[in-house]
Amino acid sequence: MASTNDLKNGMVLNIDGQLWSVVEFQHVKPGKGPAFVRTKIKNVLSGKTVDKTFNAGVKVETATVDRRDMQYLYNDGTDFVFMDLETYEQIPVSPEIVGDAANFLLEEQQAIVASHEGQVLFVELPASVVLEVTYTEPGLQGDRSNAGTKPAKVQTGYEVQVPLFLNQGDKVKIDTRTGEYLGRVTD
């Protein structure tokens, strides 16, 4: 149990038997009346986001979420297989749980796998990853019809908009939360 005053982003709450992750929270103290906490919470399993208001100081039930550093090994055709770096135990994770993170997963890449009572809840990647451009059209000098960007396919198969000067074989940094190009990486 925790108080609503202790809420933090990423904390997982057990509300009516369902697991909800805190996306945002804000303590509000109106001039008149009691203080309250306005939150935006996301259902861990369905991904649905809702706004919920709690009175300040109210007890909420927290869920015990085990976050472990794991290494992505391979996709066996149906599931993504991760290995616990401490016990070397391999666990399969379904594509529904991996979600958009699949666009940025490379073999041997580290990720945080969160589980609750043995059930995998979600896979958390670093804020950004470096991937190699496997295919892109050559950029033409003076071609500014699309604000100076062009589509490029990276080694995971994901397509991202990149500046015209990038070529096949270049490495790019991509934000895993939005899927956007962040910059070019030079070794």
Return the pLDDT at 39: 93
Q: Is the pLDDT of residue 145 over 60?
A: no
Instruction: Answer whether 66-124 and 128-185 agree in fold.
Output: yes
- How does pLDDT run across 75-123, given as a tens digit for each residue? 998 999 999 999 999 999 999 888 888 999 989 999 999 888 888 888 8
Return the pLDDT at 83: 95
Return the pLDDT at 146: 54
Return the pLDDT at 143: 55
Return the pLDDT at 11: 87
**What ranges do the domains of the chain cover?**
2-60, 66-124, 128-185
Architecture of the domain delimited by 128-185? Beta Barrel (2.40)
Query: Selecting from 3.40.50.720, 3.30.450.40, 3.40.980.10, 2.30.30.30, what CATH number does the domain 2-60 have?
Result: 2.30.30.30
Architecture of the domain delimited by 66-124? Beta Barrel (2.40)
pTM (predicted TM-score):
0.73
pLDDT above 90 as % of the chain? 44
Q: How confident is the model at residue 142 (pLDDT cuts 50, 70, 90)?
A: low
* Whether 133 contacts 157, CB under 8 Å: no
- How does pLDDT run across 19-53, given as a tens digit for each residue? 898 889 999 999 888 999 999 998 887 878 999 99
Q: Is the pLDDT of residue 124 over 90?
A: no
> How far is residue 82's CA from residue 34's CA, in Å, rounded to a whole number?
47
Q: Of residues 18 and 143, which shows the higher confidence score?
A: 18
List the beta strands (DSSP E) in the chain. 2-3, 12-15, 18-28, 36-43, 49-55, 59-60, 66-75, 80-84, 90-93, 110-116, 119-124, 128-136, 149-154, 159-163, 171-175, 181-185
